[in-house]
Structure formats: C-alpha cells, structure tokens
Amino acid sequence: MKNPFLLTFYLVGLFPFAPIRAQIPVSAAPQEDLLSALPSVTIRIKASHDLAHTANNSLFSHFEVIDERPDTARIGVHTNMKTFRRPYDRQLVFDQSAAPAVAAWLNNHFSRPGAPYTALIVLRALWLSDARYIREDLVRDPDRRFEKTHIRLKAEVYAVKDNRYLPVIRFDTLQATKKMTYYASLQAPYSDWGKNLASILADLADSSSSVTARRQNGDRRISLEDIRQFNTSRFKAPIGIDTTLTRGVYNSFEEFRNNAPSIRDFEVKVEDDRRILYTREAGNSYYTHDAWGYCDGKDVYIMRDGVLYSAWREGKAFYFYRDIISRVNPPDAEKNPAAKGISMQSATSGDSVSGRHADYKRRYVYSVDMDTGNVY
C-alpha cells in the first residue's frame, strides 16, 4: 500500500533486541503544563479509500494497543492557526485515550475473524504537528525547504498466539507534506490529518501481517513482561527521575538524559533577544553552536541552530517553543482569502508589515524524541 504523500517512509525489520497569549520573555523559562492548558481539537481517524483488500489478507483476529509514549495526554499541537479573528493554539486529541482509539480503528478495519494471531502494538511515538520540520535533502532547495505539517508514528508490533509473543516489526515513519490548508477552512487541516493518519495505520497493519507470514515459523518468542520492561526503561533515565538538575552544558543528548553535563565553565548571553552560549577556556569565551543544550541548575534549554530555547516537561516528554522566520508571498494571500489583510510582524524590525514579500516570525512547538534526542 502506497501513501500519496510528499514524504513517507517506514523501517521494517527484525528486532535486534493559543498562542500562549503573549510572547514568552527571553528571561523566563516556560512552566510545566503549557500544552495541557490549551483548548483541544478532536482528530478523527478516517480512511479515504477502500481497505477491504488489506483486511481480507490480515493474519490478525484482534488488535491490542499499549501506549508507551512519553506524553499520553495528547497526540499533537497545532500552533498559531489563523482565522478571521485572531490566531490561537490547539492541542490535538482523540475522542478517547490513544490506545483504545487506535485499537478500535484497526479492529474495525483490519481484524479478520478466525485469523491465527492477535496483534500487540506498542506506541512509542504518535505526534501530529505543524512545526516546520527541515528535511536535510531539501535544505538546498529554497522552494521546498520547509514542510507545512507532519505526522510521526513509531511503534513495535508483536504477533501473539498461545500467550507467546513473536517480535514482528519496528515501524518508524515521518510523513510530511507541503499542503497548506490552514486558512481555507477551520476543519480542513484536522480532516487531512485524520485521513493521513488512517493511511499510515493501514500501512502498519498491512506490513505487520506480511512480515508475520514470513516470520511465523521462527522460534524466537518473548514475554509480555519483557516487552513492558524494554519500553519503560527509557523513562528511567536520570533526567526524568532526579530531583536536582546539574548545572552545565550538554555536549550530547546522552549527557542530557543522564543529567550529566560535561562542560561546567560557560556563560549565556542575550543577543538580539536570543540566548547564545559561550564556553570558557583559559579565561577566554568562545561562541558555540553545536552543543545539545544546557541547564542553569533549574531549567533546561535546548539548542537549535546556535540558539538556546527554554524547554519544559509535560508527562515524561520535553517540549520547547522555537521561532521560525517565514516569507509571505502574494500567492499565499490569493490562495487563502482568510489571510488577506492580516498583518505580520517583521522578524528583523518588529514592525507590523503587510503587502508583498513580508518576512514574519512564527512560533512552533517542538517535541524531543526521548530515544534519540531528535526534535519533531
């Protein structure tokens, strides 16, 4: 099954075993539960094409889902959505918790009575976002440098029979699209996300059944307790359980996870309303742009492109706001009538500007992958 998206991929293999109403001052770190305070929008998983063929070939009589994501309270964030009135932020949710919502949809479309296996799906990441994700292969193409929306899904799938668990696949996909639907209709982006997520879940079900057919005669089986311990182990890192944070600069994500910054002699300067990091050596200060982040002993800051951003924790996940400079071209206003007459704030002067080719600054929420340190 192919997805008609600009970018979608998955790795399949054996297991190796609102706006917040005012800008946050640069001197103040965000507090916890910022996303929890946002109004919510319900995402509905809805297939846009016939799925009968995949269901007829399914090896699974039933799907069970365990939610082992760092943040189980939501499935994404839509920031600064513009309407005829004023921009606002929304947290994205299902009409119930993620595990039963995904299980119900899969059972409705892909379970086959009498099939020999039950499928156990462990969700490790599920995140819908309009944060501009930069693809390395498009950096040199100014017309395609930034994607508009993306869906991240990472899951493990096991085929279960006689209370024995066969590791089937690790599914890891990032689907991104340049489609701009924010202005045309209040419901359009949410409907698109629901359809795109349905296609990704269809790929997950189809791939899981195909790999199970090839691997079912293997002799490797593990227990449910092994699966649970493996998935909860990443939340036992010191950064998530230590009561005191260590002050210093993180050279890597592992140093962050271990609450063990390796650089202790440094200074942070505010330049043009941005936090910039300098390390000290022999009495001299040197600008650095490749550290992972730093901690002042109380709050964590994550570095992207040489700038430090205040991070906060919700559940077991870490998030941060990041400003992205964008350019508004005349076609945008013509294609999106609701955008006409909206003034943008100049990213350089701070003045309100409107008209042709106006640069403006927009905030997005980024989430940290607690397995790799990548941000989405």
Helix (H) or strand (E) holding 197, with range, is helix 188-215
CB 298 within 8 A of CB 316: no
Interval 163-167 mean pLDDT: 95
Strands 88-93 and 76-81: antiparallel
CB 147 within 8 A of CB 180: no
Instruction: Choose one of 171, 203, 236: the last residue of a domain.
Output: 236
Q: What angle do CA 260, 294, 345 make, to 5 degrees?
A: 160
Counts of helices then strands in the chain (DSSP H, E): 7, 18
Q: Do 232 and 251 belong to one domain? A: no
Q: pLDDT class for 57, splitting at 50, 70, 90?
A: confident
Percent of the chain with pLDDT over 90: 56
Contacts with 78 (C-beta within 8 Å, 6 or more apart), sequence order: 41, 89, 90, 92, 128, 129, 130, 189, 190
**Domains contained in the chain, number:** 2
Segment among 108-112, 164-168, 215-219 with least mean pLDDT: 215-219
Strands 293-295 and 248-250: antiparallel
Q: Which residue has the higher pLDDT, 15 or 39?
A: 39
Which tokens sit at 11? Answer: 């790795």
Residue 35 lies in a domain: no
Q: Do 191 and 203 belong to one domain? A: yes
Q: pLDDT class for 33, splitting at 50, 70, 90?
A: confident
DSSP states along 128-145: EE-S-PBPGGGTT-TTSS
Q: Do 196 and 323 belong to one domain? A: no
Look up residue 327 and give its DSSP letter.
E
Segment among 57-71, 126-140, 331-345 with least mean pLDDT: 331-345
- Identify the pLDDT of residue 331: 39
- Identify the pLDDT of residue 334: 39
Strands 76-81 and 60-67: unpaired
Interval 237-259 mean pLDDT: 95
Residue 8 lies in a domain: no
CB 82 within 8 A of CB 193: no
Report field, pTM of the whole predicted structure over 0.85: no
For residue 193, the SS3 value is helix
The whole-angstrom separation of Cα 100 and Cα 25 is 39
For residue 231, the SS3 value is helix
Q: Do 340 and 192 belong to one domain? A: no
Q: Do 131 and 218 belong to one domain? A: yes
Residue 316 lies in a domain: yes
Which tokens sit at 150? Answer: 């993306």
Burial label for 309, CB within 10 Å (0-12, 13-18, 19+), is buried
Calculate the average pLDDT of the chain.
79
The whole-angstrom separation of Cα 154 and Cα 149 is 17
pLDDT tens digits, one per residue of 71-119: 999 999 998 655 555 557 899 999 999 999 999 999 999 999 999 999 9
- Identify the pLDDT of residue 155: 97
- Identify the pLDDT of residue 17: 35
Q: Which residue has the higher pLDDT, 102 or 33?
A: 102
Q: Do 125 and 253 belong to one domain? A: no
Q: Do 217 and 291 belong to one domain? A: no
Find the domain containing 337 and state its range.
Answer: 240-367
Residue 11 lies in a domain: no
Q: Which residue has the higher pLDDT, 60 or 134?
A: 60
Asked if residue 356 has pLDDT above 60, the reply is: no
User: Where are the alpha helices (H) located in 20-145, listed in sequence order?
Assistant: 52-56, 98-110
Q: Do 245 and 205 belong to one domain? A: no
Instruction: Report the 10 Å Cβ neighbour count for 313.
Output: 17
For residue 67, the SS3 value is strand
Residue 162 lies in a domain: yes
Interval 284-294 mean pLDDT: 93
Segment among 35-44, 52-61, 271-280 with least mean pLDDT: 52-61
Phi/psi region, residue 373 (left: phi>0; alpha: psi -120 to 50; beta: rest), is: left
Look up residue 94 and give its DSSP letter.
-
The whole-angstrom separation of Cα 368 and Cα 373 is 6
Instruction: Choose one of 192, 214, 236: the last residue of a domain.
Output: 236
- Name the β-bridge partners of 367: 319
CB 245 within 8 A of CB 297: yes
